[in-house]
Every structure is written in structure tokens, then in C-alpha cells.
Structure 1
Amino acid sequence: MDSPETLEALQARHRKEQRDLIARVTQKKKSANKKTRKGVNDECDRLEQELQERQAQELAAQNGESTDIGEQEKQEEERDEETQPADIENGVESLSISGSQPDNSAQPPTQQNAKKKQNRAKARLARRAAEHEALVAEAKAEAAALPDLREQERIRMREQFAKYGLKEKEIRADGHCLYAAVADQMETAGLGLKPRIQPKINGEETKVLPYKAVRYAAADFIEHNPDDFAGFMEEPLEDYLQKIRDTGEWGGHMELMALAKTYGIKINVLHGDGQVDKIEASDAKPGDEENEIWLGYYRHSHGLGEHYNSLRKTP
């Protein structure tokens, strides 16, 4: 059985989570454009709020308090109410029993208690906000001291472009980037979108956006050759194919394998460290280099995570 997490370990984990979230939020906001900025900002606010609430609950549990925010408030109010009898007695003693006129400026005990409760609640909220702000400030300071992985990756990729005689065509980071990059390569290289299995959309050969045609080409090839791919899937084949065809699910190595085979091409995937993944059809022949395309693979440069750009040969 795992030993309980110490307070120091919990605080260290919370700081790391704050750093990671700050880095993630920063990348998302940098990648946003005018159309997506509001949605990105709303999502970032939601992520920050969720993290703040979860960490507050974990800290409360560590201190032996209730992890339910409403229950915490109730417990604190009950503790406040325990002081009410003394407050009432003091209020009674302040009243005149000699028949003289009472001091109208004095507030009734119930109003005094309500005011004290409000002040205590405000103090609790202020204390929690100050603790959270201190944690965020510390995380930001630590994040600022970390290397800029995005810029480092960009610099290394530019070095690789010069080495291989390539230039970059930026592809929108929207979940379709792999398919859109392949479509751009197929068009600019003059290869044409001609899969060995002609993709059909809704049962018909219909003209669609290039990236959509590439999605269907990958899905159709996998569907017709399930034994080659089923071992790599963590879900039923039909569910996986539906994601490729009809959603913004990211593509990866398996989809690149399917595309290389269905288009009869060689796909070179360039990484920032100089590594080149070569993915090609099993029946490729010497001299087929003219039927090759290049993609750039990024891990840090885009807010949504892994990303592919189209790399074109320079004249």
C-alpha cells in the first residue's frame, strides 16, 4: 500500500502542476488567433479554476478538513455559531435594567453576529486567494527560469531545413494537421490525391476538402487491411475508423503507414533533433524517391501539443 503523501510533497506537486498549467496556457494563448482567442481564453480560465479547486480540496484533505467546499463553509459557520451565546450575554448585559432609555445606536446581537460572520467569511476568502496567488507567483517564477522549449525547437528545425533544402508551409493546428500537411504535399508535388482504394464519403465518390479526402483514404485502407493495424488499436475497429473519418482526432504513425501504402509514396517525417522517420509502402522500388513527401514534426511549438507542418523542397 502506498504511503500517504506528505504536506511537503503535496505542495511540491501543486507547484509543478501550476508550472505545467502556466506553460500550457501560455502556448494556447500564443497559438490563438482573432477567431479562436475568446474560446481559448475561456478554456484557460476553466482549466485554472479546475486546478485551483482540486488543489484546495487536496490541501483540505491533507489538513484533515472536509474536501467538500460547501461542507467546509458549513463547518466554519457552525464554529462561528458556538460563540453566539457569549455574544448574546454580552448584548443583554449592555442593556439598561434601571428603566433608563436604551442606547439606540447599539446594534442588536443578531445583527452583530451576522456582521462578524460576514467579516470572518471575507477573511477566509482573502486568505485562500492570497495563498493561491502566492502559489501562482512562485510557479510563474520557476516557469520563467525554464528553457524556452518552443524557441529551441524552432531554431533546430530551421537548421534542419537548411540541411535538407526545405521550406516550411505552416498548417493550421486544429487536429487535422497531419492530413492537411499530407494533402498539401500531394498537391504541390504534383502527385495528386490518388489512393489505391478510392475513398467514398457517405457511400459515394464525392469531391471534398483535401484534408478530408486524406482522412477517408487512411480510414479506408485500414478498414480493408485490418490485420495490419488491429494490434495497434485500443478500441474496436469501427470506433477507430469513425474517429478518423468524422472527427478532429489527431493522426499519428499508424495513419502515416496507411497513407504511404494507399498512395504508394514515401513519407519523410523530420524532427528537430535531425531524426528522419522514413515511412514507405512495402512494395517501394529503387527510383521511387520522386514520389516522396516531407513533413515537419513538432512537440513543443504549438499549444494543442504534437503538430505536423508541410515541408516543401526549395527551388
Structure 2
Amino acid sequence: MESLEEMQARHRKEQKDLQARITQKKKGATKKTRKGVNSECEELERQLKERQEQERAGLDGEPVQEVDGVPALDEPSNEDPAIAMPNGVDHVTESLEKTTIEATPSENGQPRKRNRQKERLARRAAEQEAAVEAAKKEAANQPDRKAVERELMLKEFEARGLTEKLIRPDGHCLFSAVADQLSQAGIPLDTESGAEVREDQRYILVRKAAARYIEQHADDFVAWLDEPLDHYVHKIRDTAEWGGHLELLAIAKTYNVEIGVLQNGGAQTIEPGSDGPSEPKKIWLAYYRHGFGLGEHYNSLRRAP
């Protein structure tokens, strides 16, 4: 017959083995299966606790009730800290440490060594899961920057009597938006030959005009560049390189226009200077930092009907 000491040693091993199983189950759980896995682990813990309590009761000579030939157990007590398991992420590593720290005897009667690698892995898994949950809570508490930006922009449009024309977010958006505005203002896109192209190709003419101005006025731009001027001009003229403030300045001077840029509740104005032959016309662009998946984006703003 098993002695009390042997039973206690076996119970500790069973608890340790169960916690190792639970750790693996929870590590392999996904967001969809986590709830079911947690319920399954709780049930395994409950069953082990009840069985071990029943075995201890039988060893002490207490009566065992049976229902249909199966031992019926009393409700488990939560007062035994070696058995009761709290819910949550942390109890996996806490319980694992508790069972591995105890000196369970091996077959030769010597205490078994702690498996520190398993303890570290269990701790790391629990910490990572806790960090993910904390990040989710923090993200849920953050304001929706896209919605806030959109609300502010709509207020600006209404206050200035403007309506938005969406431009495809393809890397050419600044030049396409300017091309739409220049066409609305009756300004030719090709300042040299006056040539016209179809609507979806108009941005090419604006790119070439901006690149040409930067190249011809190198002293005004080279200090702001992180690369050789000819490389930069090539990217603006011949690729889908995004445009920014330098290109807007070159466009304003090339076409003698004043460019108003609405952004996140504010406005910026790029003026052409005093070199133009006539009073500059005003064109409007909408600049977004959060509203589009690719990042920064420009739309054209027309006068509301």
C-alpha cells in the first residue's frame, strides 16, 4: 500500500506534469481558441485536485461516497495553496516554479535538479502574452487619429467653401492634385509647348515642370537635399517619388500660383514670390497624414458649387 510520503511525492509530480501540459496548451492557443483552452485547463486542474483530495481522504480512512460506482467528491476547498490555482496568465509560471522548486525525490532518493530552462521559457511566454494584452489595451485607449483628422478637415472645407476631389494614392498624388487645380484655374500644364495630355497623365507634365525648375535654380534647392542634385531631379521627373514642400515651391514659381494647403485643422500657404508677370491665382490642396493607407497624401480642393 502506498505511504503518505509516496502519495505526496506522486501528487507533486502530477501537479508538475499538469502544469507543463497547461503551459504548452496555452502557448499553442490562438485568439479564437484561447477561451476554450482556458476552460479546458481549469477543468483539468479541478479534476486533478478532486482526485488527489479523494486519495488523501481514502488514505486517512475517511468514508468515500459513490454514485453509480464512481467516487463522489465534496466541493474542492480553495484554502489549500498547493492545489488551488488562480485564473490568469501569471498562475502558469508561478505554479510551475512552485512545483519545480520543491525537492521531489528521484528513483535513487536524491533531490531532482530544477529545470531552469523550462522555468525561463514559461516565464517568457507569460511575459510576452501579458505584454500583448497590455499593448491591446493601450491601443484601445488611443484616439482614432484618422477620424479626428477627417473631422477637422471637413470643418475647414466647409468654412472655406471647398469640396474635395479624391486623387488616387499612387505616389503621384501631389502632382495629380496640382494638375487638377491648374486645369480648374485654366492654367496650361506645359509652360513651354502648351501641349495637353489626357487627364490620367497630366501629373507627368507637372512633375517635369517641377523638376526643370529645381534643376535650373539649383542654388535655391541644393542646400535642402541629402543627395546629388541630378539624382534628385531624376527621381522627381521620372519616377513615382513622393513630392513635398520643395516641389510645391517649384510649382508655385513655375505656374505663378499661390498654393493653399489644408492640413489637420490648419493651413499653410506657399507663395510664388514677386517674379510673376501677373497677380497669382490661388489653388487649394488637402494634405493628409493619417487618412490613407500608404501614408502622406494630397487631394485636390475645388470651389463648392
TM-score w.r.t. the length of structure 1 is: 0.53
Larger RCO (CA under 8 A, 6+ residues apart) = 1
Give 1:126 deviation, angstroms: 7.4
Partner of 2:164: 168
Q: Flag the structure with larger Rg.
A: 2
Give 1:170 deviation, angstroms: 1.4
Indicate conservation of the 8 Å contact 1:173/1:307, yes or no. Answer: yes
Q: Deviations over 1:64-122 (max 9, x none)?
A: xxxxxxxxxxxxxxxxxxxxxxxxxx99x9xxxxxxxxxxxxxxxxxxxxxxxxxx89x
Q: Deviations over 1:12-67 (max 9, x none)?
A: xxxxxxxxxxxxxxxxxxxxxxxxxxxxxxxxxxxxxxxxxxxxxxxxxxxxxxxx
Indicate conservation of the 8 Å contact 1:150/1:300, yes or no. Answer: yes
In the alignment, the residues of structure 1 paired with residue 276 and residue 188 of structure 2 have an alpha-carbon distance, to the nearest angstrom, of 18
> Counterpart amino acid of 1:220?
R
Give 1:139 deviation, angstroms: 1.0
> Counterpart amino acid of 2:212?
D
Q: In angstroms, what is the RMSD of aligned CA positions?
A: 3.3
SS at match of 1:132: helix
Partner of 1:245: 237
Indicate conservation of the 8 Å contact 2:249/2:270, yes or no. Answer: no
1:228-307 equivalent positions in 2, closer than 5 A: 228-284=220-276, 287-289=279-281, 292-307=282-297
Over the matched positions of the two proteins, sequence identity in percent amounts to 51
**Aligned in 2, Cα 1:231/1:156: closer, same or farther, shift over 3 Å?**
same
Partner of 2:145: 149
Give the gaps of 5 or more residues in structure 1. 1-89, 94-119, 200-204
> Counterpart amino acid of 2:231?
D
In the alignment, the residues of structure 2 paired with residue 241 and residue 125 of structure 1 have an alpha-carbon distance, to the nearest angstrom, of 54
Partner of 1:312: 302
Indicate conservation of the 8 Å contact 2:260/2:267, yes or no. Answer: no
Partner of 1:135: 131
In the alignment, the residues of structure 2 paired with residue 163 and residue 286 of structure 1 have an alpha-carbon distance, to the nearest angstrom, of 28
1:93-108 equivalent positions in 2, closer than 5 A: none
Q: Which has the higher helix share?
A: 1
> Counterpart amino acid of 2:274?
S
Partner of 1:63: none
1:38-49 equivalent positions in 2, closer than 5 A: none
Give the gaps of 5 or more residues in structure 2. 1-105, 109-116
SS at match of 2:260: strand
TM-score w.r.t. the length of structure 2 is: 0.55
Give 1:166 deviation, angstroms: 0.3
Indicate conservation of the 8 Å contact 2:167/2:298, yes or no. Answer: yes
> Counterpart amino acid of 1:294?
W
Partner of 1:178: 174
